[in-house]
A and B are shown apart, each in its own frame.
Chain A
Amino acid sequence: MTALAPLLFVLPALGALANLLAGRRANAWGHWVGVAAVVASFVVGLLLFFETLGLEPEQRSREVSLFSWISSGTLDVDFGIRLDPLSLTFVLLITGVGSLIHLYSVGYMSHDPGRRRFFAQLNLFVAAMLILVLGNNFVMLYLGWEGVGLASYLLIGFYQDRPSAATAAKKAFLMNRVGDVGLAIAIFLLWLELGTLQYTEVFARIGEVPSGTVLAITILLLLGACGKSGQFPLQSWLPDAMEGPTPVSALIHAATMVTAGVYLIARTNPIYNLTETGRLVVALVGVVTLLIGAIIGCAYDDIKKVLAYSTVSQIGYMILAVGLGPAGYALGIFHLLTHGFFKAGLFLGAGSVMHAMNDDVNMRHFGGLGRRMPITFVTFGLGYLALIGFPFLSGYFSKDAIIEAAFAQEGWQGWVFGGAATLAAGLTAFYMTRLMIMTFFGKERWKELKAPDGQDYHPHESPTTMTVPMIVLAVGSVFGGFTLSAIGLYEWLAPSLGELQELEGGALPHALVPWLVVLFSALGVLVAYLLVGRRPTPVERPERVSLPVQAARRDLYADAVNETLIERPGIWLTRALVFVDNRGVDGLVNGVAAGLGGSSGRLRRLQTGFVRSYALSMLGGSVFVVAALLAVRFA
């Protein structure tokens, strides 16, 4: 049975290849190949899942070595697969949600001339993501990591004619590079200390590594996670990534790829278990991000950006959870799964709204759409309730568990983590209610407006290929949380993540926390109703707003900070180097020459072009090398 495992990522890869190579001939059927590849992969995933479920818990982690990838001397890297509860959980999420979103895209992209290219890239993404979670060593992880980054980059820039798409793609790539360097350094540190990169060996021997190095590794891994998952301070690429087609936002930038950071930390839990400081940093990053995301989400009018900041904030919850250590790894994965369902559903709903509204994303132009598109309204509404943690829907189970665990921390941490998470839950309820009211309720503001292309709006329900995935995801959003906790997700994950620790004590009694969270959420809904629902929504964005709103509209100045700290110095460095390379050396020559007076003028005329300055640069380098070598020797 395990022999089937490579098919998981081979099938989508073949789908991508078929779509790329078949050329225009495949325009008519290429997308169905793409759908079939992912569905087939999902079926293989299910088979493996049920087979694993039949095994004893101790035998559920299996390794499949395909071939020896890099092997020379001390370097030995397998191209191998690790089938264990954690990776299988991700496989089912990726291929399951992936199948639905592929199906949805058939309808969503039906008018797009680049549909075949789109499916090729989407399949490529699925293949890379599966390699990321299935690899049994850090190099495979890195391979998948770069692969999903590349696919995400290509898909963000899918609408080639929009300059904003190209800029967003570039930003995503750059910020991900920062994270990737962190990940790469962490991997090399592990190799340096242990001489192996297989998970099993690394985790078995991580105790031999000095504690300072372990801390460094955890921080560097976290940097990688921050880049990929849009966590503070690398969060600002994710909202911009919404320039991509909406199915991409749903699959890559909500349900799967952006959760790779959570996967990374959960997967390397034996390393994080060794360093309390490392975990604390993780939790702090999560808390800061979940607040930032929730605050900024309140200020945007762009429906996809609100959802994007909501994603940033929800991943903040997951990162907080895995930062809590053995008490939180499984909770983070739990929230990741439920979030995968309802956030994908919300994005598909948003895509359906955009489909109906001539690709407009400004919620101020919407209003009263609930009556026009009932299926979208109901499925979106269920996703909304799940996200704000309405009792007994899926978000309620997973988010509350995280907040409880946060409050259960000792000392100031319990109050800070729990308090921030509760506050953000209230904010989440506020911005999502605002989004619901502006989109589906109230006056039909679009009636008096023209679309950007000059036509009237004719909102209509979307075709079946789009509504079916939305319905399935909505069902998942309603029952997912209950089902997962009923069938024992925590016990299932235990072989990969360790037993979930139940914490006692902490800042607040456990019984109180759900009430508190529900209270805050209800407050958020109420405030949104009072502020947005009871008053007509202006079609133009009001410019005279309070300072916090201004700050939130500018992403809490994240771009400004990046520009000052990184972009400007980078540009200066480049300019300085160019200057030295082009003119600096020459200027030096001219200066010396001027000092020598007239004779130099004649000499200079004998020399052509810039060869003299090239030679001078070489001479400078040589003098440096000679002087430095002698200095090292005789100093």
Chain B
Amino acid sequence: MTPLNAPPIDYGAIAPLLIVLGGACVSVLLEAFLPRHQRWPAQVALTVLVVAVAGVTLGVYAGSAPAAGVVTLGSTLAVDMPTLFLWGTLLVLGFGSLLLIADRSVEPGGAFVASAAERLSVGAAPGTTTGATGVDPEHVDRSYGAPGEAPTMQTEVFPFTLFALGGMMAFVAANDLLTMFVALEVLSLPLYLMCGLARRRRLLSQEAAVKYFLLGAFASAFFLYGLALLYGYAGSVRLSAIAEAAVGTDRSDALLFGGLALLVVGLLFKGSVGPFHTWTPDVYQGAPTPVTAFMAACTKVAAFGAIARVLYVAFGSTRWEWRGVLWAVAIASMFIGAVLGLTQTDLKRMIAYSSIAHAGFLLIGTMAITPAGVSSTLFYLLAYGFTTLAVFGVISLVRTADGEATHLSQWAGLAKRSPVLAGVMTFLLLALAGIPLTSGFTAKFAIFAAALSDGMAPLVVIALVASAIAAFFYLRIVVLMYFSEAPENGPTVTVPGAFTTVTITLGVVVTLLLGIVPTLVLDWAGAGGFTG
């Protein structure tokens, strides 16, 4: 029997990942052993600490990291410059999302509760007594806070978030397909659960969770089948081995391209690229808004980080065969997002379609198999993540007695009541539309320039047209806020607590800075390429 040799591990390189996953485990323990009323402060302190420490560790490592990157843990993880950038992006965006999740000022007890009956113990807002699940008010579960007292927040969401974050970090660093698949599941399972945690509109939330789970499972199956075909072709699941096999063999390409197609479908699903986008509007609408923010910002980063790595490392040499197909997908995604966004009446659904359109732009960046393509994609992810995080932060503030007011008509005339909020929202929407001096412009500019220099001029023209169409529906919200009469029982704008304020401010400042002085971040994004 051959002795098992433990593979050498570069702990320094993967420390941030270990810290986040370790923190998640500690978080589970806290959840199990702390008394209920201590959980919220403990969990918030722990998660913030974990993310901060992971971020600092990452920063320290990145300062002295080898430019070529390292492959460690038996070549399952590649910690190269794009990985470090994506990890940084994930940690910062995850930090922002955690603040949104932890905020309890906007709604008593936060956006997460244990059961439908929990809302009754609040005994506050009228209209909430008609619980979606029809629980008898007599049998109220009072275990989570006495009547009249501020309810405690359900805190499982914190370990979920940390696990999802850890999964995402492993996902973008995965150097072989099997690791990638495991990471995909690690990041997806907590997300499915988090979608169903909404405090209000419980049925919608649970339906969203089930839909997301079913379709996610479906997509995972595609991914796994593609993985199997690629293993059959290359005899290895390592990305670089697939690339070598594609150049050096005369085996049937049917396995290679069939595998690629199925693999890419699984990844495109996660990135909510049309026509694999169908879950996005429902889930964005149904999930609690802080979770939607987390998904919109971080899942996008993870998915496109992985797509870029797979296409670049494993399929760079065969790009001329697959590029045409992905062109069609990108065009479909941009137009599905831009055109269907026009007809939406719910703000969260509209932003969901916006994210589908943005996914199309991102796909263009990942198709450019050049250093500029990689760096522009990374930059776009960071820019888009911050903007979208702040957008959802703002959305969570506009409320009626029944919860968030996400119907467009409820946003009419908001500028008169809350000029600051309307101004912030307008700025963020302009960034999503890609107006200069916002990060949205710089990011689009970088991606289009990269695509042009890699011979995709017609696609860039189409993308410009699509972004012009999409600008219109961002504008619809602006028009509504400024130029329409407010409805009779309009929503109120909640004064945000410190956590939400920090997140929104962070999002706005970064959106502005990346529009005016993007060079530093562009340099980071372009510091090095993927390693095999």
Contacts and interface: CB of A to CB of B under 8 A. Distances in A.
A318 B316 CA distance: 51
Contacts of A628: 324-325, 328
A633 B275 contact: no
A629 interface: yes
A169 interface: yes
A174 to B, nearest CB: 7
A188 B452 contact: yes
Interface in B339-391: 339-340, 342-343, 371-372, 375-376, 379
Given A185-B461, A621-B265, A191 B449 contact: yes
Interface stretch (A141-149, A228-236, A305-313, A335-343): A141-149
A103 B355 CA distance: 45
Interface string B305-341: 0000000000000000110110011000001100110
A74 B261 contact: no
Among B222, B343, B436, find the residue whose CB has the most chain A CB atoms closer than 10 A: B436
Contact of B322 (A70, A608, A632): A632
A577 B324 CA distance: 22
Nearest to A193: B452
B324 A173 contact: no
Interface in A185-202: 185, 188-189, 191-192
A263 B516 CA distance: 25
Nearest to B448: A188
A617 B324 CA distance: 20
Given A609-B211, A618-B265, A70 B445 contact: yes
Contacts of B411: none
Interface in B217-233: 218-219, 222
Contact of A143 (B371, B437, B472, B526): B437
B464 A632 contact: no
A629 B325 contact: yes
Given A611-B214, A617-B275, A70 B446 contact: yes
Contacts of B375: 72-73
A170 B269 CA distance: 35
A161 B484 CA distance: 7
Contacts of A618: 215, 218-219, 265, 269, 275-276, 278
B215 A626 contact: no
B325 to A, nearest CB: 4
A184 B211 CA distance: 40
B222 A622 contact: yes
A69 B519 contact: yes
A546 interface: no
Contacts of B211: 609, 611, 614
Interface residues of B, number: 74
Interface string A132-156: 0000000100110011001000100
B278 A617 contact: yes
Given A70-B519, A160-B482, A625-B325, A614 B215 contact: yes
B436 A147 contact: yes
B101 interface: no
B194 interface: no
Nearest to A618: B276
Contacts, number: 178
Interface string A158-196: 001100011001100110011011001100110110000
B472 A174 contact: yes
A613 B516 CA distance: 44
Contacts of A609: 207, 211
A-side interface mostly: helix
A29 interface: no
B-side interface mostly: helix
Contacts of B264: 625
Contacts of B526: 72-73
Nearest to B480: A166
Contacts of A621: 265, 274-276, 329
A71 B343 contact: no
Contacts of B482: 154, 157, 160
Contacts of B379: 72
Nearest to B264: A625
Nearest to B213: A611
For chain A, give the interface size range: 35 or more
A11 B191 CA distance: 49
A278 to B, nearest CB: 19
Given A74-B453, A185-B464, A621-B265, A634 B254 contact: yes
Contact of A622 (B261, B279, B517): B261
A188 B460 contact: yes
A78 to B, nearest CB: 11
A44 B455 CA distance: 45
A188 B518 CA distance: 19
Contacts of B430: 150
Given A614-B215, A632-B321, A622 B265 contact: yes
A154 B479 CA distance: 9
B452 A192 contact: yes
A615 interface: yes
B257 A630 contact: yes
Nearest to A614: B278
A599 interface: no
B464 A157 contact: no
A624 B333 CA distance: 14
A168 to B, nearest CB: 11
B519 to A, nearest CB: 5
B333 to A, nearest CB: 10
A173 B516 CA distance: 24
A633 B322 CA distance: 8
A251 to B, nearest CB: 21
A574 B342 contact: yes
Given A157-B483, A622-B265, A629-B261, A178 B214 contact: no
A573 interface: yes
A180 B265 contact: no
B465 interface: yes
B257 A146 contact: no
Nearest to A189: B457
Contacts of B465: 181
B207 A73 contact: no
Interface in A569-583: 573-574, 577-578, 581
A536 interface: no
B413 to A, nearest CB: 8
A629 B321 contact: yes
Interface string B500-532: 000000000000000011110011011000000
Contacts of A192: 452-453, 457
Contacts of A160: 482-484
Interface in B414-457: 423, 430, 435-437, 442, 445-446, 448-449, 452-453, 457
B253 interface: yes
Contact of A577 (B262, B336, B485): B336
A525 B394 CA distance: 59
Nearest to B460: A188
Given A157-B483, A160-B483, A615 B276 contact: no
Interface in B120-168: none
B372 A629 contact: no
Contacts of A573: 339
Given A72-B526, A188-B460, A633-B321, A180 B468 contact: yes
Contacts of B269: 618
B187 interface: no
A629 B260 contact: yes
A573 B340 CA distance: 10
Given A72-B525, A625-B261, A633-B254, 15 more contacts: A73-B375, A75-B446, A180-B468, A192-B452, A573-B339, A577-B335, A611-B210, A621-B275, A622-B265, A624-B328, A625-B265, A625-B325, A626-B261, A632-B322, A632-B325
5 contacts: A72-B376, A72-B522, A75-B449, A166-B483, A578-B343
A-B pairs, top 9 by smallest CB distance, nearest first, are A72-B522, A614-B278, A621-B275, A143-B436, A626-B261, A166-B483, A629-B257, A628-B325, A622-B265
